[in-house]
Amino acid sequence: MLPVRGGDGRKLTAWGIRTTWSTVGDGEFFCPDCGGDRNYRRRTGRRRFTVLGVPLLPRGQAGPVVECQGCRARFGTDALDHLTTTRFTALLRDAVHTVALAVLTAGGTASRSALEAAVCAVRAAGFQDCTEGQLESLVEALSTDEGRLGLYDIPECCGAALSIELHEALEPLAPHLAGPGRESILLQGARIALADGPYIPAEREVLATVGSALRIGADEVARLLSAVRAP
């Protein structure tokens, strides 16, 4: 824009392009500039050629952009792909809970040591009120579903319902975890499986599914499982 001065000495803009923004949505996102969860406005703009502040000719659209309500910074809409801290915490908690249930379903709940290991993992993930009785009830429900589908006799499959549960819980989280974070979830499941002795085939199948859903290669899964020692 070309600045000029008015009669009172103030700077005026002789001509230029001005963008008028409109809000088309809102929500919560992780603001890269603030470094935390903030409210945002999703905005689109209309560009106009102006003379002395008067809009004359349209010059196309701007945006859409995401505007932080805290710092007012604007970002591309891909900023919404980053999980909020609240959402990330919830996904991580649910992932550990689902893995623990899957391992217990594969290995059974007769072992108190395996149940105790599962409860410790689930509580550490955020379900502070988790009990052995709750896990046993959930495992029984999962086992009933698998039995109804007649899938427990198929050695190469950890069960359709079980596999679906694992993929639904782990796949949305995997892209947002670094390698050590994905490995940590797998290893928590491995420690539950080993709490009552060596892996059984069904437990290995479940843990292989966990690794696949977390985008860990089959060879790396095998290496990690072999490196874990029973307590």
Overall average pLDDT of the 104-115 stretch: 88
For 23-55, write each residue's pLDDT tens digit: 889 999 999 999 999 999 999 988 887 766 666
Mean confidence (pLDDT) of the chain: 85
Alpha helices, H only, the chain: 85-107, 112-125, 132-149, 160-170, 179-194, 201-213, 218-227
Give yes or no for a contact between 178 and 219, defined as CB atoms under 8 angstroms apart. no
For 61-109, write each residue's pLDDT tens digit: 777 999 999 999 999 999 999 999 999 999 999 999 999 999 999 988 7
Between these two residues, 197 and 110, which has the higher pLDDT value? 197
3-state helix, strand, coil in the chain (%, to 5): 50, 25, 25
pLDDT at 153 exceeding the cut of 70: no
What's the rounded Cα separation, in Å, for the pair 162 and 188? 17
The number of C-alpha atoms within 13 Å of 3 and in the hemisphere containing its C-beta is: 4
Q: Could you tell me what percent of the chain has a pLDDT over 70?
A: 82
Q: How high is the pLDDT of residue 45? A: 85
pLDDT at 146 exceeding the cut of 60: no
Overall average pLDDT of the 198-211 stretch: 94
* Cβ within 8 Å of residue 33, ≥6 positions away: 68, 71, 73
Confidence band, pLDDT 50/70/90 cuts, at residue 215:
very high
